[in-house]
């Protein structure tokens, strides 16, 4: 066999093995394979011309070892690629990390829960303005000119007539000035007071205001509505009680308590062993407030309340410090 005789097959195998082993990328390996083992390689041509057994065994032996060398180099290149990636700080064998999902702030969750309750009771949900006129926040709500809460020590003034609202109650005034009764609205949102932050005080916190204006509304309607609200929020066993109180814009004014939802009224640290938890102020809308917004108190009556939202979150989850809501410590927030 000419071709067999013309080639030094030992040298061929040595060179081919070296070329395959030196390939640094898949494309180089493929080039080497085509050159030394491909259909037009000297080896393939010689194999096609083989007539005797001895030559056949020699050339097939070379082909088999070279094919193995190609496979071996292929695996080596893959391993090197992983190793390089790992050296660059990427370990491609590590399973992917799940994408972290965000969540709503606890106060937002509770606020939405409250909104859903009142939507279910047929109320309209308002998004009131945090910037209020002095008239809406104080005068229209019957708060007289000398009231201490109007002082610049207690209230953030933007100018002589404009403030950051100190309560959500001015939304009552806005509602009555922009809607014709009957009105059934709740307005949750932030309020602002010049307080030094500590565990139970914050210069900003959230309230939810409720106002119902209709013909023939009584204190029994107020009591029934608040009872229903607390039962939906804290459980069907809850009871409420009213204590007399004073607010300039309601007459009579009351303070609502709910039976403790942690001890079911038996007495615990949260309800200070009284079985009752204070929830906030309410009352029958003062006729003077109706007159301030040009509604006739002979025709229209109403009730209102304004309860804090942080208080609900703190009681429910046993949170001891109001500041946790604003510090945005992810270790606290991600628990809810």
Nearest approach in angstroms of CB 247 to ligand DAH is 4
Q: According to CB under 6 A, which one of 134, 282, 315, 322 is a site residue for ligand DAH?
A: 282
Are the C-beta atoms of residues 233 and 312 closer than 8 Å to each other? yes
In the complex with ligand DAH, the residue whose CB is nearer, 17 or 167, is 167
| Sites for ligand DAH among residues 103-142 (CB under 6 A) | none
Written as six digits, the tokens of 32 are 């080497």
In the complex with ligand DAH, the residue whose CB is nearer, 28 or 214, is 214
Handedness of CA 216, 219, 224, 226 (dihedral sign): positive
Q: According to CB under 6 A, which one of 170, 189, 283, 302 is a site residue for ligand DAH?
A: 283
Written as six digits, the tokens of 39 are 């259909």
How many whole angstroms separate alpha carbon 134 and alpha carbon 7? Answer: 105
Q: Which residue has the tokens 């690629």?
A: 81
The three-point CA angle 78-91-80 to 5° equals 25
Are the C-beta atoms of residues 260 and 270 closer than 8 Å to each other? yes
Contact between 305 and ligand DAH per CB under 6 A: yes
Convert residues 56-95 into a mask of x (bound to ligand DAH by CB under 6 A) and - (unbound): ----------------------------------------
Written as six digits, the tokens of 227 are 């009872």
Closest C-alpha among 136, 128, 199 to residue 163: 136
In the complex with ligand DAH, the residue whose CB is nearer, 14 or 178, is 178
Nearest approach in angstroms of CB 269 to ligand DAH is 25
Number of residues that bind ligand DAH (CB under 6 A): 12
How many whole angstroms separate alpha carbon 40 and alpha carbon 83? Answer: 35
Choices 13-21, 124-132, 156-164, 274-282 (CB under 6 A): range interacting with ligand DAH: 274-282
Nearest approach in angstroms of CB 254 to ligand DAH is 8
Choices 4-12, 15-23, 108-116, 278-286 (CB under 6 A): range interacting with ligand DAH: 278-286
Are the C-beta atoms of residues 163 and 170 closer than 8 Å to each other? no
Helix 106-120 and helix 310-317: axis angle, to 10°? 110
How many whole angstroms separate alpha carbon 292 and alpha carbon 135? Answer: 10
In the complex with ligand DAH, the residue whose CB is nearer, 23 or 212, is 212
Are the C-beta atoms of residues 254 and 242 closer than 8 Å to each other? yes
Query: Could you give the count of Cα atoms lying within 13 Å of 154 in the half-sphere of its Cβ?
Result: 10
Written as six digits, the tokens of 93 are 């064998």
How many whole angstroms separate alpha carbon 182 and alpha carbon 179? Answer: 8
Nearest approach in angstroms of CB 134 to ligand DAH is 15
Contact between 206 and ligand DAH per CB under 6 A: no
Contact between 247 and ligand DAH per CB under 6 A: yes
In the complex with ligand DAH, the residue whose CB is nearer, 265 or 281, is 281
In the complex with ligand DAH, the residue whose CB is nearer, 20 or 173, is 173
Convert residues 152-191 into a mask of x (bound to ligand DAH by CB under 6 A) and - (unbound): ---------------x-x----------------------
Written as six digits, the tokens of 143 are 């708060």
Q: According to CB under 6 A, which one of 209, 257, 286, 310 is a site residue for ligand DAH?
A: 209
**Residues interacting with ligand DAH, by CB under 6 A?**
167, 169, 209, 247, 250, 280-283, 304-306
């Amino acid at each position: 066999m000419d071709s067999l005789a013309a080639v030094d097959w030992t040298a061929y195998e040595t060179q081919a093995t070296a070329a395959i082993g030196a390939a640094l990328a898949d494309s180089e390996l493929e080039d080497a394979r085509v050159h030394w083992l491909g259909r037009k390689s000297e080896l393939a041509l010689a194999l096609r011309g083989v007539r005797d057994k001895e030559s056949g065994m020699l050339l097939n032996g070379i082909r088999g070892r070279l094919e193995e060398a190609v496979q071996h180099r292929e695996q080596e290149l893959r391993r090197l690629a992983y190793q390089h990636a790992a050296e660059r700080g990427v370990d491609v064998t590590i399973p992917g990390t799940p994408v972290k999902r965000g969540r709503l702030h606890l106060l937002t969750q509770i606020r939405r829960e409250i909104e859903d309750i009142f939507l279910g009771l047929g109320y309209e949900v308002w998004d009131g303005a945090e910037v209020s006129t002095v008239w809406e926040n104080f005068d229209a709500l019957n708060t007289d000119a000398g009231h201490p809460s109007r002082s610049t020590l207690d209230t953030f003034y933007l100018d002589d007539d404009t403030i950051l609202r100190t309560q959500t109650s001015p939304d009552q005034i806005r509602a009555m000035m922009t809607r014709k009764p009957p009105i059934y609205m709740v307005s949750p949102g932030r309020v602002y007071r010049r307080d030094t932050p500590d565990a139970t005080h914050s210069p900003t916190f959230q309230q939810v205001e409720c106002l119902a204006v209709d013909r023939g509304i009584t204190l029994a309607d107020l009591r029934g509505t608040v009872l229903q609200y607390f039962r939906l929020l804290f459980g069907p066993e809850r009871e409420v009680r009213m204590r007399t109180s004073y607010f300039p814009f309601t007459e009579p004014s009351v303070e609502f308590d709910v039976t403790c939802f942690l001890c079911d009224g038996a007495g615990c640290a949260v309800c200070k062993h009284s079985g009752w938890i204070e929830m906030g102020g309410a009352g029958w809308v003062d006729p003077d407030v109706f007159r301030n917004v040009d509604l006739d108190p002979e025709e229209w009556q109403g009730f209102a309340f304004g309860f804090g939202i942080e208080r609900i979150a703190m009681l429910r989850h046993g949170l001891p410090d109001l500041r946790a809501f604003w510090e945005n410590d992810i270790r606290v927030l991600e628990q809810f």
